[in-house]
Amino acid sequence: MTHPKDHLLSWLRDAHAAEEQAITMLSNLSRRIENYPELKARIEQHITETRRQSERVRECLQRHGSDASTLKDTGTKLMGLGQALSGIFTSDEVMKGILASYTFEHMEIASYKMLAAAARRLGDPETARVCEEILQEELAMAKWLEDRLEQLTDKFLDLTAEGSATAKH
């Protein structure tokens, strides 16, 4: 029988790995963005938030005498790199990056809601508080992207119509 705390720790390790993947994915996308300064700035802000989120999740694990999974972290970083590299070969890299980021934010939102609920149930108010704070940052990033999907799509299509070689990023 698996103890509920074991699930919480496993899910925290998953969340840490997801943050590491997000850092890789967003950093690679940010480096390639040329024509979308507002998007680039918001992604860079979220990279800073994500690095701190990763550290805060690690601290939650350490309070329980555990740590992040090197194997999970490495695997997800490689997935993030593969995701970033795949965009290089498309004519709409920035749009694929936005789509991936928006989707990833929603996966993280669900994860942090689940983690906060599990931590509360297990009597770990500090982990619940950390997860709820991270949840708010993820919700803010998803909302920022959602609010600008049409504007970013229009800009991409305008640059493409102009024949801009850098419309893709």
pLDDT digits over 85-143, tens only?
454 556 788 999 999 999 999 999 999 999 999 999 999 999 999 999 999 999 999 99
Short-list 84, 91, 114, 112, CA closest to 22: 84
pLDDT digits over 55-92, tens only?
999 999 999 999 875 545 454 544 544 455 454 556 78
Report how far residue 88's alpha carbon sits from residue 103's, in angstroms, rounded to the nearest whole number. 19
Packed helices 125-162 and 4-32: angle between N→C axes, nearest 10 degrees: 30
CB atoms within 10 A of CB 110: 12
The end-to-end CA distance of the chain, in Å, is: 50
